[in-house]
Amino acid sequence: MTHQIHIIGGGLAGSEAAWQLAEAGFRVKLSEMRGAPVDKGGEMTPAHQTDGLAELVCSNSFRSDDADSNAVGLIHQEMRTLGSLILREADIHKVPAGSALAVDRDGFSAGVTAALTAHPNIEIVRERVDTLPDSGPVIVATGPLTAPALADQIGGATGKDALAFFDAIAPIVHHDSIDMDVAWMASRWDKGDTKDYINCPMTRDEYLAFHTGLMEGEKTEFKEWEDVPYFEGCMPIEVAAARGVDTLRYGPMKPVGLDDPRTGRWPYAVVQLRQDNASGTLWNIVGFQTKLKHAEQVRLFRTIPGLQNAEFARLGGLHRNTFIRSPELLDATLRLKARPNIRFAGQITGCEGYVESAAIGLLAGRFAAAELGGAAMTPPPVETALGALLHHITGAAVAETYQPMNVNFGLFPPITGRTKKADRKKMYTERARTALGVWLAA
């Protein structure tokens, strides 16, 4: 079969993109290195264990399936509406998990593999791809564990420093969950008129208790392949804290130049948060990258004054992760601006999670199908979960501090006015459904 588009990587994103294109009537070549013979470069990633397409490398959960008050549940619903293969197979292979959508991982992967194998428009080629094709439409969906030779090629095509190798991530907090009666906006030494940071003050006792919590908190154990040296500038906070009780007060928790408006003095220590998206709904805790277990992070970080009710859009973590600086490099339909025949999809674009990776694969597939059919496709509106996630990746996020991100309401245009949080979530999802309907009708 001569193909019309080449998809590299048969994970969550590549499988979904292949399905969307094939269903639209286009012939797809899908290259996957797992299961390839040795002379075709066959190899596993450090996390995959089978040669099944769309293998889930860690948990078996697609998270909440509540489409009324949860952003990931909403994106499930939107993907179902758009004929997602990943959601179809997830629903078929669902296992009991309360309000979450969890799957039998083997049945799920087998179902996706069977559907793609049986599709007359798809040819699955078991091979490792080491070079980016020079011409013809391509979707790169090789994930966070892209094989090294291709990763080098991508680095060359995007500019060497644009391909980020990232080991530690810091938590991100929803702005509306920060207590601004305790925290205050200021820049250190109040330079100019800018008040760029949210500052959370700590007394000596609070700081010492926090330090002890960091030392004693339960840490995630890592597989051997994740045991890479830390970059000094991206060191987990508990590793820095272990160097001495005052290390953090001379580092990310430095109080100098920050007058607390309630006392007129510098606190004993300060936790700073920096804006993380253009609309200011999300803020990251500066220097707080960590490998503490998630429950431990929530418990400990809520002891920080001002963050006692913090809701986290993303918690910290530590694993090897390859992704590109998408907000700078990709256009609104996921094409590499420098080489528009190449689209990127999945976690390599800087989204985070199975569902998000498949969602971006779905959009990449649809954009490519529209282009092959000679029509332009308008991206979904930012009021939808698909549109909000895409918008974040392709422009809304700050390129210099861009980090992997799950879908969450902080990515949506804010709903303002005095409403209860539960009502506000419903307002987001209802607005999204209306917007998706209008977009589909158009």
Ligand X SMILES: Cc1cc2nc3c(=O)[nH]c(=O)nc-3n(C[C@H](O)[C@H](O)[C@H](O)COP(=O)(O)OP(=O)(O)OC[C@H]3O[C@@H](n4cnc5c(N)ncnc54)[C@H](O)[C@@H]3O)c2cc1C
Binding residues: 9-14
Q: Is 342 in the site for ligand X (CB under 6 A)?
A: no
CB of 47 to ligand X, least distance (A): 4
CB of 322 to ligand X, least distance (A): 9
Q: Is 142 in the site for ligand X (CB under 6 A)?
A: yes
CB of 223 to ligand X, least distance (A): 8
Centroid of chain to Cα 407: 7
CB of 237 to ligand X, least distance (A): 21
Q: Which residues within the stretch 29-88 sit at the binding site for ligand X (CB under 6 A)? A: 31-34, 45, 47-48, 57-59
Q: Is 13 in the site for ligand X (CB under 6 A)?
A: yes
Site map 102..141 versus ligand X, x via CB under 6 A: --------------------------xx-----------x
**Long-range CB contacts (< 8 A, 24+ apart) of 327-333?**
327/393, 327/394, 327/395, 327/396, 327/397, 327/398, 327/399, 327/402, 328/162, 328/399, 329/158, 329/159, 329/162, 330/393, 330/394, 331/394, 332/379, 332/390, 332/394, 332/395, 333/367, 333/371, 333/377, 333/379
Nearer to ligand X, 7 or 435 (CB): 7
| Kind of pairing between the strands at 317-324 and 163-169 | antiparallel
> Please, what is the Cα angle at 285 between 284 and 290, to 5 degrees?
110
Task: Out of 77, 326, 357, 429, point to the residue binding ligand X (CB under 6 A).
Answer: 357
Task: Out of 3, 5, 6, 8, point to the residue binding ligand X (CB under 6 A).
Answer: 8
Among the residue ranges 76-84, 116-124, 142-150, 213-221, the one whose residues contact ligand X (CB under 6 A): 142-150
Task: Out of 144, 201, 255, 381, point to the residue binding ligand X (CB under 6 A).
Answer: 144
Place of tokens 């209802």: 430
User: Distance between CA atoms of 113 and 416, rounded to whole angstroms?
Assistant: 44
Q: Is 146 in the site for ligand X (CB under 6 A)?
A: yes
User: Distance between CA atoms of 63 and 102, rounded to whole angstroms?
Assistant: 7
Contact 100, 63 (CB under 8 A): yes
Strand blocks (E) in 310-426: 312-314, 317-324, 335-336, 339-344
Among the residue ranges 87-95, 174-182, 347-355, 409-417, the one whose residues contact ligand X (CB under 6 A): 347-355
User: Distance between CA atoms of 14 and 343, rounded to whole angstroms?
Assistant: 11
Place of tokens 């094939």: 22
Task: Out of 7, 12, 270, 368, point to the residue binding ligand X (CB under 6 A).
Answer: 12
Residues 6+ apart with CB under 8 A from 135: 341
Nearer to ligand X, 105 or 175 (CB): 105
Q: Is 145 in the site for ligand X (CB under 6 A)?
A: yes
Q: Is 365 in the site for ligand X (CB under 6 A)?
A: no
Residues of the shown chain interacting with ligand X in the complex, contacts defined by CB under 6 A: 8-14, 31-34, 45, 47-48, 57-59, 128-129, 141-147, 150, 319, 346-348, 353-354, 357
